[in-house]
Amino acid sequence: MGGEALRFFAPAAWVNGAWAPDVVLCVGADGAWSQIICGASAEVQGGAQRLPGPVLPGLVNGHSHAFQRAMASLAERSASAQDDFWSWRDRMYSAANRISPEQLEAIAAFLYSELLAAGYTQVCEFHYLHNAPDGSTYADPAEMSMALVRAAQRTGIGLTLLPTLYMRSGFAAKGLRDDQKRFASTPESVLRIASEVRRQAGESDRITTGVALHSLRAVDEGAILEVATYGKSMPVHIHIAEQQLEVDDCIARHGRRPVEWLLDKLPVNERWNLVHATQCTPAELEGVRHKGASIVVCPSTEANLGDGVFDLARWMGQSGSWSIGSDSHVTRSWQEELRLLEYSQRLTLRQRNVAARSAWCESSAAALFQGALDGGTAAAGAPLAGLAMGQRADFMVIDTVSPALLGVPASHVLDALVFSSPDADFSDVFVAGRRVQRADSDLRAAFVRAMNALWS
Q: Which residues are catalytic?
A: 276, 327
- Write the CB contacts of 429 (distance below 8 Å, at least 6 apart in sequence): 58, 116, 117, 119, 121, 395, 396, 397, 435, 436
Which among 403, 432, 445 is positioned nearest to 152, based on CA atoms? 432
CA distances to 126, 211, 213, 334, 376 from 222, in Å: 21, 15, 12, 36, 29
Beta strands (DSSP E) in 290-404 are 294-297, 321-324, 395-398
CA distances to 18, 60, 226, 274, 298 from 271, in Å: 27, 16, 15, 10, 19
d(CA 107, CA 444): 9
- Write the CB contacts of 383 (distance below 8 Å, at least 6 apart in sequence): 32, 377, 390, 391, 392
Residues 215, 224: contact at Cβ < 8 Å? no
Q: Which residue type, as a one-letter code, is found at position 257?
A: R
Q: How many CB atoms lie within 10 A of CB 170?
A: 14
Residues facing 92 on adjacent strands: none
Q: Which residue type, as a one-letter code, is found at position 295?
A: I
d(CA 329, CA 308): 17
d(CA 295, CA 83): 27
What is the C-alpha R_g of the chain?
21
Q: How many CB atoms lie within 10 A of CB 283?
A: 12
The angle that helices 101-118 and 143-155 make with each other, rounded to 10 degrees, is 30
- Write the CB contacts of 312 (distance below 8 Å, at least 6 apart in sequence): 297, 322, 341, 342, 344, 345, 354, 355, 358
Specify the 3-state DSSP secondary structure of 124: strand
